[in-house]
Copies of this chain bind each other. A is one copy, B any other.
Amino acid sequence: MTLYQIQYRSEVLGGEGEFGVFLPEKWRDTDSLKVLFLLHGAFSEYKSSLLFSSVARYCDARNMAVVAPSSHLGVYCDMAYGEKGYSMAKEAIRISGRLFPLLPQDPEKRFLLGISMGGHGAFKLAMEYPDRFSAAAACSSPIDIVATMELLESGRHFGGAELFHTFGSADTCRGTDRDVIHMAEQHAAHRTPLPRLFLCWGDDDHAKAEDLVTVEKFRKMGIPLTTRVGRGGHSFDMWDPLLEGILDWMLEGGDRDGAD
């Protein structure tokens, strides 16, 4: 096992940020080396995802490195005056490429995986940089933030004030680059080749309703979205047993424009 715990000068933070890099046992075999960008969920940092799951072991068996940024509570969105959650994740991905030139730059070998809030970041990165990643998977994630904000505004969402502070309102998000669905629609209209997409949730998961809305929207747009349902609620007890299947789905490949 090779594990780096990295503290780096972050221009985004105006201070120092942290991220982790895990290298599999066979990292010297750079031909087969792949990289998974692992985006953590709310209320945690990168180490939690590694400790609470066995993702490092699953990646080790598949010769995948893991780059795990820490993005605080920013829902992978930049606030005007607060956290720069999205820029932080982008910066960590960019810097990891410079600091670790052995990590593959070939998009076919680069994958995004986000847990809960992190899945929002994964899909957002896939939409902003569709030619940089092979696939993006989200576990129990609020992909359609406009729909989430509408739920919030109507009082029917479990979330809280921090989402308002980050996104403002459904109206101020809709049709902007903070609206992942809007970005996907643009890509659908322009027939942009996209990374393959995956979304899963638990059968007892508070994100289930939101994810079903997302699935329907992608269906209407004609963008393929592979889905799976885990057993249980919004926790690694449900996610961990799905992770190997997700990695295998990533590695199956297929056309990056989703025609698999």
Contact = CB atoms under 8 A, between A and B. Distances in A.
A169 interface: no
Interface stretch (A9-17, A122-130, A178-186, A220-228): A9-17
11 contacts: A1-B8, A1-B52, A3-B6, A3-B47, A5-B6, A7-B45, A9-B43, A13-B73, A14-B42, A14-B73, A51-B54
A33 B204 CA distance: 28
Contacts of A60: 52
Contacts of A98: 28, 102
A205 interface: no
Interface of A: 1-9, 13-16, 18, 22-23, 25, 28, 42-45, 47-48, 50-54, 56-57, 60-61, 72-73, 79, 81-83, 98-102, 162, 165, 236-237, 240
B52 A53 contact: no
B50 A51 contact: yes
